[in-house]
Amino acid sequence: MATKANVEMFEVRRAELEAKVAEQLAACEARAEKLNALEAVVIASKAGDEGKLFGSIGTRDIADAITAAGVEVAKSEVRLPEGALRTTGEFEISIQLHSDVFATITLNVVAEA
């Protein structure tokens, strides 16, 4: 029933949830600014003469490299629409921190010496 007490309790709960969502969004936007300010992240991997990697670089490798560069990123936040990276080169990687917050980093994949 929508009694006066229930309506008041609902309004208080809704205000708490809206504040929590706004706080999460602000935290994600701050992380996005840090990510956008990062220089290119470099990952070294074994590769053949033509730049083809022995293996591939996936979301976990990218998340670990970004975290090592100073910004905490989970592998579930890294977006690779074309799948794992299998060649050396420079790539633009999209990071989805929140349903409304995206950041882009430059990833350089180089052959291990």
| pLDDT for 112 | 86
112 in helix, strand or coil? coil
Decide if pLDDT at 113 tops 80: no
How many domains would you assign to the chain?
1
Q: 22: which 2 tokens? A: 């706004």
> Which CATH number does the domain housing residue 81 bear?
3.10.430.100
Which pLDDT tens digit goes with each residue over 45-67?
Answer: 999 989 899 999 999 999 999 99
What token pair was written down for 110? Answer: 């180089």
Domain housing 70: 4-111
